[in-house]
């Protein structure tokens, strides 16, 4: 470190001013505290908003995925039992299997729509509950 740079640093410390690079916009700015990472209120608020959006996204993921998985497994396990059951007529098996495929197709579409925020999670959940009832109706006499 040159003497000039050293002297400058000492002055900076004595007046409690530090040069920092804003972690959001990359602008060089004078910080009054060592741990001041953002150049302005605007950048700080933006950073808080970005963090919140990330948090919400994660929360959303933990919302719809397990709910989807639960109803998917509900269908899957019952269909499996039906397929191993010799007393169920072949055309019934066919019909139930086709109902299962329709469910899978539609569920994926709707799940993606929730992911892209085009559908509310609550609407998706209501639909999943309907689908679970639909599975019951299709298969209850064989289970």
**Contact residues: Zn ion, CB under 5 A:** 22, 24-25, 27, 39, 43
Closest separation in Å from C-beta 14 to Zn ion: 26
Closest separation in Å from C-beta 8 to Zn ion: 23
Instruction: Calculate the CA 123 to chain-centre distance.
Output: 16
Alpha carbon distance 25, 40 (integer Å): 10
Question: Which of 1/28 has CB closer to Zn ion?
Answer: 28
Closest separation in Å from C-beta 12 to Zn ion: 20
Radius of gyration of the chain (CA): 29
Closest separation in Å from C-beta 21 to Zn ion: 9
Question: Which of 43/138 has CB closer to Zn ion?
Answer: 43
Phi and psi angles of residue 43, each rounded to the nearest 5 degrees, phi first: -65, -40
107 close to 68: Cβ distance less than 8 angstroms: yes
Question: Which of 25/31 has CB closer to Zn ion?
Answer: 25
Question: Which of 46/88 has CB closer to Zn ion?
Answer: 46
Say which residues have a Cβ less than 8 Å from residue 97's Cβ, sequence separation at least 6: 79, 83
- Let me know the angle formed at the C-alpha of 126 by 121 and 129, rounded to the nearest 5 degrees: 125
């Amino acid at each position: 470190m040159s003497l000039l740079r050293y002297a400058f640093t000492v002055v900076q410390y004595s007046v409690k001013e530090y040069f920092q690079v804003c972690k959001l916009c990359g602008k060089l700015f004078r910080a009054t505290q060592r741990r001041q990472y953002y150049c302005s209120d605007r950048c700080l608020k933006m950073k808080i908003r970005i963090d919140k959006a990330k948090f919400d996204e994660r929360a959303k993921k933990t919302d719809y995925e397990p709910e989807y998985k639960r109803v998917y497994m509900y269908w899957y396990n019952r269909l499996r039992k039906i397929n191993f059951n010799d007393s169920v007529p072949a055309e019934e098996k066919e019909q139930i299997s086709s109902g299962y495929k329709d469910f899978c197709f539609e569920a994926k579409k709707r799940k993606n729509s929730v992911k892209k925020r085009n559908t509310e999670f609550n609407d998706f959940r209501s639909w999943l509950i309907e689908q679970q009832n639909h599975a019951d109706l299709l298969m209850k006499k064989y289970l």
